[in-house]
């Protein structure tokens, strides 16, 4: 259980955070002054310290420096009603993990705490660049930030590209399907860069509406719009000197895209409702599951922004494309989940191993992780995971083993010919024939990727499997 110390001069804040974090299974202590907090820190170990910036008895910088001398590996999160940019940046440069604005949003606080848990190294200023390099593990694994690199050809090529672009200040577009680990790749790029000791801020652009995107990214002045009762520091300001990761960037509105383009070209931002322009030094890494070239051609994404972002494009392979790495991912997630649940690391039955190798994993590494976590709740007495522990949806979508030794091509010809031979002359039969022909055309175009085919055909993947089963083509 993670231990958290909350330091805030307002008793109400202490009580609120203690109640919320305790419900999330954290062990929480609270105190209202800095010097007594230092005495507690000398006696007890804490994983995370959440502290008000303006403590009544000691300055934030002095308090932070003394904390680091006592517990150099602790993650320090500061908070304040009104964030002064210079103070926030100064503390982050000294090694603070984050600086949050009050009133705190529970989901945001929890996400920051979870990010602390992902990191294996301290952000203290004494940490050297060499210590920030990804560390090789046995069996070709690299588990920095919970990300397994793997040892397949595709994985090694990706890591080589990460090292090459990481040492530069190029803007990067990371392309990849949902669940492939695009944020983990962005974190590795940041980790091998000269900015590794500076902030890394991840932004889910899909959650930013047109109305709030500009405020979240660039900040706003007090009174800039209805509800802007205080001045807000934008994420670009907080990331100054470091890296900002814009996930699913295709979701940004045209207005926000324009502000982003200006930030990239001029290295200047302007708060909503503000007049002054603020200089920034931020490396931008964007991620997308969509084709931005197609989006720009359809006037959904600015072409000039695409070309500004695409100084380097890195494509993350799907799990199916690097299936030889599957055992490494399975082993990692089994170990991770067993530690979380405090149980002995389970084993997979041979039956489950075969199922995992035959499944197409449309949700990629994220889906595998979720399947493993769920399965670990249904371990049998012999500490083994069997088929009954797997989700029904996975089993329903499973690729059947080809029967009678027929190859894909033979099965296709057999199925089409069988439909032709038995076809009637009515419109219903003709429609079935046309439907199958269209399905086969699309499957050939996408190299028999059922998920992609279903999207193109605008039907659910299960519907596609059902239609293929009719003619014995659900391989």
User: What single-letter DSSP state applies at residue 249?
Assistant: G
Cα distances from 21 to residues 46, 67, 108, 131, 143, in angstroms, run 14, 21, 13, 31, 27
Q: Model's pTM, two decimal places?
A: 0.56
- Say how far apart CA 5 and CA 150 lie, in whole Å: 37
> Cβ distance 253 to 105 under 8 Å?
no
| Tokens encoding 134 | 């990804």
Structural domains of the chain in order of their starting residue, each with its CATH number = 3-118 (3.40.50.2300), 137-315 (3.40.50.300), 320-396 (1.10.8.60), 408-470 (no CATH)
Q: Does residue 286 contact residue 174 with C-beta atoms inside 8 Å?
A: yes
User: Alpha-carbon distance 418 to 219, whole Å?
Assistant: 64
Which residues does 144 contact at the CB level (< 8 Å), separation at least 6?
120, 134, 135, 187, 188, 191
Angstrom distance (rounded) from CA 376 to CA 38: 40
Instruction: Give the model's pLDDT for residue 104.
Output: 86
pLDDT score, position 468:
74
Radius of gyration of the chain (CA): 26
pLDDT of residue 230: 83
Q: Which residue, 78, 82, 86, is CA-closest to 51? A: 78
Strands 219-220 and 384-385: unpaired
| Cα–Cα distance for residue pair 65/81, rounded to 1 Å | 22
CA 62 – CA 317 distance, rounded (Å):
46
CB 171 within 8 A of CB 285: yes
Q: Which H or E run includes 396?
A: helix 392-396
**Contacts of the segment 104-108: beta carbons below 8 A, 24+ positions apart:** 104/17, 104/79, 106/20
**Whole-angstrom Cα distance, residue 70 to residue 39?**
10
pLDDT at 471: 54
What pLDDT score does 244 carry?
A: 95
pLDDT in tens, the chain (475 residues): 689 999 999 999 999 999 999 998 899 999 999 999 999 999 999 999 999 999 999 999 999 989 988 988 888 999 988 766 667 767 776 777 788 888 888 888 888 888 777 553 333 333 333 333 434 344 444 544 345 778 888 888 888 888 888 888 889 999 999 889 899 999 999 998 989 999 999 999 888 887 788 888 998 888 777 777 888 888 999 999 999 999 999 988 888 899 899 899 899 988 888 888 899 999 999 999 888 877 776 678 888 888 888 888 899 999 999 998 999 999 999 999 999 999 999 999 999 999 998 898 989 999 999 999 999 999 988 999 999 999 988 888 775 544 433 344 444 444 445 444 444 456 666 677 777 778 877 877 776 777 778 888 888 777 787 777 665 555 4
pLDDT of residue 211: 76
Helix (H) or strand (E) holding 174: strand 172-175
Check residue 147 and give its pLDDT. 58
CA–CA distance, 36 with 47 (Å, rounded to integer): 18
CA–CA separation, 7 vs 365, rounded Å? 38
SS (H, E, C) 329-358: HHHHHHHHHHHHHCCCCCEECHHHHHHHHH
């Amino acid at each position: 259980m993670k231990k958290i110390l909350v330091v805030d001069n307002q008793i109400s804040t202490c009580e609120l955070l203690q109640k919320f974090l305790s419900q999330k299974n954290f062990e929480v202590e609270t105190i209202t002054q800095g010097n007594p907090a230092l005495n507690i820190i000398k006696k007890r170990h804490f994983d995370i310290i959440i502290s008000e910036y303006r403590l009544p008895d000691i300055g934030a910088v002095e308090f932070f420096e003394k904390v680091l001398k006592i517990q150099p590996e602790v993650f320090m999160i500061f908070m304040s009603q009104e964030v002064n940019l210079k103070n926030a940046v100064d503390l982050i440069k000294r090694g603070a993990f984050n600086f949050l604005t009050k009133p705190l949003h529970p989901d945001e606080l929890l996400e920051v705490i979870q990010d602390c848990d992902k990191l294996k190294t301290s952000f203290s200023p004494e940490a050297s660049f060499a210590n920030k390099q990804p560390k090789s593990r046995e069996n070709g694994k690299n588990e920095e930030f919970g990300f397994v690199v793997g040892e397949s050809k595709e994985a090694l090529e990706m890591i080589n590209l990460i090292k090459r672009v990481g040492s530069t200040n190029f803007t990067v577009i990371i392309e990849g399907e949902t669940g492939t680990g695009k944020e983990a790749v962005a974190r590795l790029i940041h980790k091998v860069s000269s900015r590794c000791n500076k902030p890394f801020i991840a932004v889910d652009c899909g959650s930013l509406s047109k109305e709030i995107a500009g405020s979240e990214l660039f900040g706003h002045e007090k009174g800039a719009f209805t509800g802007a009762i205080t001045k807000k520091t934008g994420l670009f300001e907080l990331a100054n000197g470091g890296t900002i990761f814009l996930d699913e960037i295709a979701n940004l509105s045209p207005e926000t895209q324009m502000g982003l383009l200006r930030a990239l070209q001029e290295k200047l931002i302007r708060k909503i409702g503000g007049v002054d322009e603020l200089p920034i030094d931020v490396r931008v890494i964007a991620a997308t599951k969509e084709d931005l070239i197609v989006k720009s051609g359809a006037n959904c994404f600015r072409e000039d922004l695409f070309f500004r972002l695409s100084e380097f494009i890195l494509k993350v392979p799907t799990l199916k494309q690097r299936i030889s790495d599957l055992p490494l991912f399975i082993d990692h997630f089994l170990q991770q989940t067993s530690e979380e649940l405090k149980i002995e690391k389970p084993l997979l039955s041979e039956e489950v191993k075969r199922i995992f190798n035959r499944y197409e994993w449309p949700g990629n590494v994220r889906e595998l992780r979720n399947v493993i976590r769920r399965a670990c709740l249904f371990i049998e007495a012999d500490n083994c995971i069997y088929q009954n522990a797997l989700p029904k949806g996975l089993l329903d979508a499973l690729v059947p083993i080809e029967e009678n030794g027929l190859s894909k091509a033979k099965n296709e010809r057999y199925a089409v010919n069988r439909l032709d031979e038995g076809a009637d002359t009515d419109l219903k039969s003709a429609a079935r024939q046309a439907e199958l022909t269209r399905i086969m055309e699309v499957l050939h175009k996408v190299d028999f990727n059922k998920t992609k085919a279903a999207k193109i055909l605008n039907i659910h993947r299960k519907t596609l499997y059902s239609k293929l089963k009719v003619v014995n083509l659900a391989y």
